[in-house]
Amino acid sequence: MFQQLDSHIKQWIVNSVMGVAIALLVLGFFTGEKQDGQPPPAETEVNRQQENKEAISHDSKAEPETIEQYYADDYGDMGEIPPTPVNESEQPPPLEEFFSKEEIAESKAVAEKFITDFYPYDGKDPLQNIRNSKSTVSRDLYELLMESPERPTSMTVERELVSLETIEPFAPAAEVMTWNAKVNGVVTDAEGVKRAETDLYKLKLEKVEGEYKVVDFLVNYLE
């Protein structure tokens, strides 16, 4: 039937069909572009917001509020620990348990006098502090100190006493009297520069001919 139509009519039909086809193609192209540029549907956005809220809620529940909660699984309840009671019977005895008040006072006075006489130092006369402390030390200690006096160094050429604090030993023994001392002083170096210095003395005293004498001592010794 199409072959029997006039050539002009045929041409018009063909042109019309092609025009419709082209119009459909153009319409479809612009429709696709518009959909690609549009934001996601409202329902999808709502779902995404809901998922974010659920994720945040899950993280906040999983994160512990305190350090105690964080370690609770491994260490159990970490509540306040009551102070451990002190058993007085387990504490070391004081000096008074081994020595009389007179012995404690006498030995303390000797220890303080020894440091007061021995600590000051003059590098120009290294034996001076030893001679000054002769009355407070035993004969054996005095001879030992005189044989090996402190020599001046670039760091120490002079030493002056500033303050002295005697401290009762933490765990005294009945066999020997000991005293600890904290000594603050000012030390001068070879360049004349002064610096503050603190030394810790540990003194051992014994009765020699009825009087307490320093028989040995250590300086800055850590037990």
pLDDT (tens digit, 9 = 90+) per residue, 100-124?
999 999 999 999 999 999 999 999 9
CA separation, residue 181 to residues 104, 167, 169, 200, 216 (Å)? 15, 6, 10, 6, 14
Identify whether 81 is part of a domain.
no
Same domain for 42 and 139, yes or no, is: no
Query: Reduced to 3 states, what is the DSSP secondary structure of residue 14?
Result: helix
For 25, the domain range is 2-75
Same domain, 110 and 56: no
Residue range 34-57: mean pLDDT, rounded: 57
Q: What CATH number corresponds to the domain at position 213?
A: 3.10.450.540
Q: Please check whether residues 124 and 186 belong to one and the same domain.
A: yes
pTM, full prediction: 0.60
- 206 and 115 within one domain: yes
Where does the pLDDT of residue 171 fall: very low under 50, low under 70, confident under 90, or very high at 90 and above?
confident
Token pair in block for residue 80? 């306040």
Strand partners, 177: 205
- Looking at 75, 103, 131, the residue that finishes a domain is 75
Pairing of strands 194-208, 121-122: unpaired
Average pLDDT, rounded, for the chain? 80
**pLDDT band per the 50, 70, 90 thresholds, residue 196:** very high
The answer on 139 and 71 residing in a single domain is: no
Q: Which residues pair with 121 in a beta bridge?
A: 159
Residue 173: its pLDDT value, please? 76
CA distance 150 to 125: 10
Q: Which is nearest to 106 in space by CA: 206, 192, 12, 23?
A: 206
Both 103 and 61 in one domain: the answer is no
127 shares its domain with 173:
yes
- Classify residue 70: in a domain, yes or no: yes
**Model pLDDT for residues 125-138, shown as the tens digit of each residue:** 999 999 999 999 99
CB neighbour list of residue 122: distance below 8 Å, 6 or more residues apart: 128, 129, 158
* pLDDT score recorded for residue 11: 67
Q: What is the C-alpha to C-alpha distance for residues 113 and 161, in angstroms, rounded to an integer?
A: 12
pLDDT at position 2 is 47
CB 201 within 8 A of CB 219: yes
The number of C-alpha atoms within 13 Å of 86 and in the hemisphere containing its C-beta is 3
pLDDT of 61 above 60? no
Residues 133 and 36 in one domain: no
Number of structural domains (the chain) is 2
**Do 55 and 132 have their domain in common?**
no
Co-location of 67 and 102 in the same domain = no
Q: Is residue 109 part of a domain?
A: yes
Query: Are 105 and 194 found together in one domain?
Result: yes
**Residue, of 173 and 124, whose pLDDT is higher:** 124
What whole-number distance in Å separates Cα of residue 2 and Cα of residue 10?
7
Q: What is the pLDDT of residues 65-98, one digit of tens each?
A: 565 565 566 555 555 656 655 555 567 788 888 8
99 & 70 share domain = no
More confident residue, 98 or 143: 143
User: Where does the pLDDT of residue 22 fall: very low under 50, low under 70, confident under 90, or very high at 90 and above?
Assistant: confident
**Percent of the chain residues topping a pLDDT of 70:** 61
Distances in Å between the Cα of 132 and the Cα atoms of 36, 105, 115, 117, 204 are 103, 22, 10, 6, 19
DSSP state of 173: B
| Cβ contact 215:133 at 8 Å | no
